Structure formats: C-alpha cells, structure tokens
Amino acid sequence: MEHHPRSNRTEYIAYLFPVGYPNSALICGIKNCEKNGLIWINRNEMSDYEEGERIFSGLTSVVKMKADDSGIHKKEMVHRNNGYLSLERETLSRVT
C-alpha cells in the first residue's frame, strides 16, 4: 500500500485514486520512494469530492491533481497504547 502522509498541518482521513491510476504520473512524496501516488484528502476535501469536485491541490499550489470517480477510500487505524500500530481494514464510499 502507498504511504500515508505525515503532516502537522493537515489531518488526512482518506485518499482518492488519480485519473489513470495506477498508470498516472503521481509518485509517492516520501524521499526515495517511487511507488504510485495517491491523492490524500482531509475532511473538507472529502465533502468536496462527495459534492462532485474532482480537482485537488496539495499543500502548495505548485500542482493540482484530478481524482477519478471510483470513490473515497479509507484506512481504519487500530489504536493501542497511545499510538497507532497498524492500518487494518479498507472501506470504500462510492459517490452515486
């Protein structure tokens, strides 16, 4: 699975597939990683997607990304001993 981004400014709660995934031009942003990139979104962006928005920006306006129509994908985290140990179950919310 592609890496979950770490940010002190944004709480990413779900991700979207970019148009053409896995053959899109998006690459993971972690140094030395060349895995396929995803569009990670926060709560407000999830609402925007559900309302039909498909174009999203990262933390800067250097580039915009276009999501496909496959729906919102989430990872549920298991919380133990004041830390997240693992990403367990993937859920999918499709927009109709």
Domain ranges, ordered by start, for the chain: 14-70
Mean pLDDT within 77-95: 46
- Percent with pLDDT over 70 in the chain: 74
pLDDT at res. 55: 95
20-41 residue pLDDT tens: 999 999 988 888 888 888 999 9
Distances (CA, A) of 24 to 47, 51, 84, 86: 24, 24, 30, 27
Q: What is the pLDDT of residue 60?
A: 75
